[in-house]
Structure 1
């Protein structure tokens, strides 16, 4: 299995709202990320647009339907179509989520939580091995936002992720907003989560907004909160080389607004790296 080299840069999710911006001129980003399933078809306008964007920017394929936690195993047809897309686009890497989305007969289209048990870990690791073999490349997996726990949980989520990485050789997509959301909802210290991860295996960071409240909901429909920025600063104190992305999926603003937010991410990363070096 090939190694995924670190890629340092700052990027955005490519959304239909901004196709014209990316096709019409130079957008000051180091990469773009796309939802894999939106382009897993032969032909079509969206795929042609992605190829045009790929000629100007590195691309990351980020999936939402692999269902790596499915006890029924993986969908071989899905994996074949994902491999075809990856070979066509030649992405920086391919990622998905630590979750399950389907049974053998139904796809929920939701990122459903997994029990943090050794049995679930075995299922996830077997599926990751199968996915990485089918794609002939290592993958990244994103930590989920969490709103419930299971009574039979046997470990913390960061311990689950660390063991998953050790056993499969996969890499991590660290969603800082999801850590913040889960820490609030389950009353643990987000810094314990960060320090418990194998940060040398993190290749990408997501920053996003959430809906505040007694239970915080990960919505991706607003600006990054102050608390998430502060947690991002804690991560960057470790001086890891990662691709940092602003993730917005709803109430998408004009591109200049997102570029302004991306500039904040650049400043935060630079400031905390300089402080740590000093």
Structure 2
């Protein structure tokens, strides 16, 4: 099949030329190397595939060999994990240029990043770390998002974080912080339902109250994943964003509530650790598709 046509350029609230995300309102899967050949052999009925950008920031090799073929059959979402939007340092322009090259090469229907930081000076950390929700951080995050959208000439989706600690100097709630970022930059929201549930349990927040405070009208994509569970030093539940298990029943229930309110949205099943055979992920995708179909009837 031919590459899908891109929608025309439009202006974001930040005044930058951007393209609107156009993923289908269906269920997609995170693309894993162990599934490349199965996907090309069977062309499963999924709505799209999503890749982690940093895994493809090379000129060639087997990852590009297979992705080029898969891209001919499916819409694509590009998910960044290393731009470090929340870092105190300026954005890494070499990293941003590599992102631009990758976006130009594959023309994905959506691009997203995390509300987090993962670098300090020359040091890069293999983690997505939390930010303080205060005015100084708000200014920095908005500046970084404006710079990213302007440089890439397309909008980005910002993903809500999974967190385990909070900063005592925070002067805003997480939901209020995200709302102001969306309003000031014109970026859309990638609502990770697993992250939402994890953070609320870990910090003793009311899940429903948190949902009501988010700018849900800005949601353009949803992520679903599994978590691991432990106990903290006080014996309370500690949920860990492991991406190594099936989607939990509590997360499925939240997802059903959200799409009943918002209608069908592009939804990704994430699995980055203990990756099962493709058939297992397709079964989860089928369940999500059934729920999406039900939301269309409401």
Could you say whether these structures have the same fold, taking a TM-score greater than 0.5 normalized by the shorter chain as the test?
yes
Please say if residues 99 and 113 of structure 1, whose CA atoms lie closer than 8 Å, have aligned partners that are also in contact.
yes
- Which of residues 235, 260, 266 in structure 1 aligns to 2:289? 266
Taking the aligned partners of 1:164 and 1:107, their CA distance within structure 2 comes to 24
Q: How does 1:23-38 map to 2 (within 5 A)?
A: 23-38=40-55
SS of the residue corresponding to residue 143 of structure 2 reads helix
Q: Which runs of 5+ in 1 are unaligned?
A: none
| RMSD between superposed Cα atoms in Å | 1.3
Q: Which runs of 5+ in 2 are unaligned?
A: 1-16, 231-236
TM-score normalized by the length of structure 1: 0.95
Please say if residues 200 and 240 of structure 1, whose CA atoms lie closer than 8 Å, have aligned partners that are also in contact.
no
TM-score normalized by the length of structure 2: 0.89
Q: Please say which of residues 43-52 and 75-84 is displaced more in the overlay.
A: 43-52
Please say if residues 259 and 265 of structure 2, whose CA atoms lie closer than 8 Å, have aligned partners that are also in contact.
no
2:27 equivalent to 1:4: no
Query: Cα gap change, 1:272/1:191 in structure 2, threshold over 3 Å: closer, same or farther?
Result: farther
Taking the aligned partners of 1:3 and 1:20, their CA distance within structure 2 comes to 31
2:246 equivalent to 1:223: yes
Taking the aligned partners of 1:38 and 1:266, their CA distance within structure 2 comes to 28
Counterpart in the other structure of 2:6: none
2:79 equivalent to 1:62: yes
Please say if residues 9 and 244 of structure 1, whose CA atoms lie closer than 8 Å, have aligned partners that are also in contact.
yes
Q: Please say which of residues 193-202 and 97-106 is displaced more in the overlay.
A: 193-202
- Which of residues 108, 117, 125 in structure 1 aligns to 2:125? 108
2:195 equivalent to 1:198: no
Taking the aligned partners of 1:178 and 1:5, their CA distance within structure 2 comes to 22
Taking the aligned partners of 2:286 and 2:40, their CA distance within structure 1 comes to 21
1:242 positional shift: 1.7
Taking the aligned partners of 2:294 and 2:263, their CA distance within structure 1 comes to 14
Taking the aligned partners of 1:267 and 1:192, their CA distance within structure 2 comes to 27
Counterpart in the other structure of 1:173: 190
Counterpart in the other structure of 1:71: 88
